[in-house]
Amino acid sequence: MSLENFLLVGAILFSIGMYGAISRRSAVVVLMSLELMFTAVNITAVALSRYVLPAGLIFDPSTTSDLVTRSLLTGHVFAIFIITVGAAEVALGVAIVIMLYRNRETVFVTDANQMRH
């Protein structure tokens, strides 16, 4: 498996997510699309972390193993963070959708256009 495959999958997922977020009227589907985009970014981050060595580490023999470990795990840590933030975001997003429905009896994002005024 090469890095390109992972990046390709990430890019496809991201594009699908973005298309969904832009084109779908239902707020719930938009939230789901956002989750797709998060996932795409996670895949990309972890893949890059696994395949690409930071430039500073390559030709420097004096680096400690501790620094190497930290550098190599950066993408993974990012992924964990994004998953956590995504969970929180969904919780908040669904709450907003519920409030929107209670007040306006709709879950279409196209109807929530008060910001124009």
CB of 61 to other proteins, least distance (A): 32
Position 103 contacts other proteins (CB under 8 A):
no
- 7 belongs to the binding site for other proteins (CB under 8 A): no
Please identify which residue in 3, 8, 11, 23 interacts with other proteins, judged by CB under 8 A: 23
Query: Smallest gap, in angstroms, from Cβ of residue 91 to other proteins?
Result: 20
Residue 108 φ then ψ, to 5° = -85, 125
- CB-based contact 35:90 (threshold 8 Å): yes
| 7, 9, 28, 109: residue in contact with other proteins (rule CB under 8 A) | 109
Return the number of the residue (17 or 86) whose C-beta is nearest other proteins. Answer: 17
Site membership for other proteins, residue 16 (CB under 8 A)? no
Q: What angle do CA 83, 15, 94 make, to 5 degrees?
A: 45
